[in-house]
Amino acid sequence: MKILGILASHQEHGLNAKLLDEVLQNVKPGVETETVYLENYDITPHKYHEKNAVLDELSKKLMESDVWVFAAPTYWRELSGVLKNFFDCMRPKFVYFKENGDTIPGQFKNKHYLSISSCYVSTLENFITGVTDESFKTIDRVMTAAGVIKVGEIVLPGTFGMKEIPESKKELCHKYAKKISVRKRKDDSTLKRYIQLFCMIAVMALITMGIQIPMKSFIGGSFWLNYVSFTVIFFVLLACILHFVTFVKHRRR
Ligand SMILES: Cc1cc2nc3c(=O)[nH]c(=O)nc-3n(C[C@H](O)[C@H](O)[C@H](O)COP(=O)(O)O)c2cc1C
């Protein structure tokens, strides 16, 4: 079992490096770890029929690892350029192309990844505006195309003037270190998703029926009024909860 840390910050010993270290130093005994600092590599696009030794070397490291940990600060409310460039250049290695130009997951399918990002804005501002969302979204988009499965996210807002990472974030890093130390099945969150969906529907149905009680004088015993009011209320509540789930999909604090 091996975990590869991929550091994509301008600073080799900055806060993202510290968060990444905190994860890698706390994996379970026997788990091998390695860190690559992308700034040390001259990463250029893969040209067909030409060898690209740097991409081949990085590709080998990715292949030898079971879990990848991306640590990339948020720059201009986006993913750091160095990680974006790495993703752009690795595209032919991440995905296979079908004859019609569509892509399908390539050689790294079913590996796992954890994302780390940080930003200057405060925890409250990041919670409200989601400055770090785009960084996580870009990583997710690329990894989804490559068929790599997400384990989680760690975010550190309020980094202006910060020298050391807070204890709470260290604890979160330790938690994820333990989580990524065990070999995962392909995608073991299917059952969790079904349970979440069942709970959501159960709560929504209960609230809908609760709302219908004071409407009894209007609905009377009419089956169709009962049905229509249930459907409309249930739909509105479900739309709200789905919007909420999407809104807080990325960790912001
Ligand atoms: C080019 C650049 C752009 C940045 N853009 C943003 C930004 O849009 N919003 C923000 O909150 N912080 C921004 N920052 C601050 C970084 O996110 C912050 O410095 C980061 O936490 C540093 O991580 P590090 O210590 O690993 O280098 C930017 C920093 C740089 C260098």
Q: Which atom of ligand 1 is nearest to the CA of 126?
A: 11
Would the CB of 120 count as within 6 Å of ligand 1? yes
Q: Which atom of ligand 1 is nearest to the CA of 117?
A: 21
Would the CB of 135 count as within 6 Å of ligand 1? no
Instruction: In whole angstroms, give the CA distance from residue 57 to residue 40.
Output: 13
Could you tell me which of 86, 94, 204 has the C-alpha nearest to residue 143?
94
Question: Which residues of the chain are under the pLDDT cut of 50?
Answer: none
Which residue has a Cα nearest atom 29 of ligand 1? 75
Structure pTM? 0.86
**pLDDT value, residue 187:** 63
Q: What is the pLDDT of residues 227-237, one digit of tens each?
A: 999 999 999 99
**pLDDT value, residue 61:** 98
Q: Which atom of ligand 1 is nearest to the CA of 121?
A: 11
Please report the domains of the chain, with CATH numbers, ordered by start residue. 2-180 (3.40.50.360), 190-247 (no CATH)
Q: Which residue pairs from 17-22 have beta carbons closer than 8 angstroms and sit at least 24 positions apart in sequence? A: 17/71, 18/164, 18/165, 19/71, 19/116, 19/118, 19/154, 19/156, 19/165, 19/169, 19/173, 20/69, 20/71, 20/116, 22/165, 22/169, 22/170, 22/173, 22/174, 22/177
Q: What is the pLDDT of residues 141-174, one digit of tens each?
A: 999 999 999 999 999 999 999 999 999 999 999 9
Task: Measure 74 CA to ligand 1 centroid, in angstroms.
Answer: 5
Task: Measure 159 CA to ligand 1 centroid, in angstroms.
Answer: 8
Task: Measure 119 CA to ligand 1 centroid, in angstroms.
Answer: 5
Q: Which atom of ligand 1 is nearest to the CA of 15?
A: 25
**pLDDT value, residue 190:** 79
